[in-house]
């Protein structure tokens, strides 16, 4: 599967991923969906990283064009859209889990340290945690949002 972007600078796997995702904001949007259950522009813009609205709009469009996100209109409020992860987006979850584990190991102030059982599970069986989280997100849940799974 190739990126919908123009010509790649190289076909290095790391370069492919970086060009498809674009920048840190893109992974934070994926994080917000998978970990916190955020699905709307307003919810993403309320994240503590304080992404500017023009950048958020640009990243959402990029992730839609890349096939990482899907967008559906709110049936009750046509001004509001819901963003969900596609299979391509769900397949980023193992990467996010590795980043959680890496952060806990190397950042003394990492928020991952507030979830030691979660980090322990990632280190014990990342594939199982990734599978469970993907299934949960497919059903509209998230790791730490309103639906509290046993992750």
Question: DSSP secondary structure string, 71-133?
Answer: EEE-SS-TT-EEEEE-HHHHTTHHHHHHHHHHHHHH-TT-GGGG-HHHHHHHHHHHHHHHHHH
For residue 23, give the 3-state DSSP assignment: coil
- Which domains are assigned to the chain? 13-138 (1.10.10.10)
Torsion of CA 148, 129, 122, 94, to 10 degrees: -110
**Per-residue pLDDT at 78:** 81
How far is the C-alpha of 21 from the C-alpha of 62, rounded, in Å? 8
Mean pLDDT for 107-118 is 94
125 pLDDT exceeds 50?
yes
pLDDT band at 23 (very low <50, low <70, confident <90, very high): confident
Radius of gyration of the chain (CA): 16
Q: Mean pLDDT, the chain, as a whole number?
A: 88
16 pLDDT exceeds 80?
no
**Per-residue pLDDT at 146:** 60
Whole-model pTM: value is 0.86
**pLDDT above 70 covers what percent of the chain?**
91
122 pLDDT exceeds 80?
yes
For residue 137, give the 3-state DSSP assignment: helix
For residue 40, give the 3-state DSSP assignment: coil
**Per-residue pLDDT at 132:** 97
pLDDT 10s digits, 40-95: 999 999 999 999 999 999 999 999 999 999 999 988 888 889 999 999 999 999 99
């Amino acid at each position: 599967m190739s990126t919908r972007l123009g010509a790649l600078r190289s076909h290095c796997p790391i370069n492919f991923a970086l060009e498809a995702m674009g920048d840190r904001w893109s992974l934070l949007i994926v994080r917000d969906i998978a970990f916190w259950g955020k699905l709307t522009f307003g919810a993403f813009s309320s994240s503590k990283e304080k992404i500017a609205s023009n950048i958020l709009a640009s990243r959402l469009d990029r992730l839609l064009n890349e096939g990482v996100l899907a967008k559906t209109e709110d049936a009750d409020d046509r001004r509001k859209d819901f963003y969900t992860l596609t299979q391509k987006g769900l397949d980023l979850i193992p990467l996010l889990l590795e980043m959680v584990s890496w952060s806990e190991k190397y950042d003394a102030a990492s928020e991952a340290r507030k979830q030691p059982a979660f980090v322990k599970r990632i280190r014990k069986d990342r594939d199982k945690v990734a599978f469970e989280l993907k299934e949960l997100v497919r059903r509209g849940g998230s790791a730490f949002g309103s639906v509290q799974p046993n992750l």
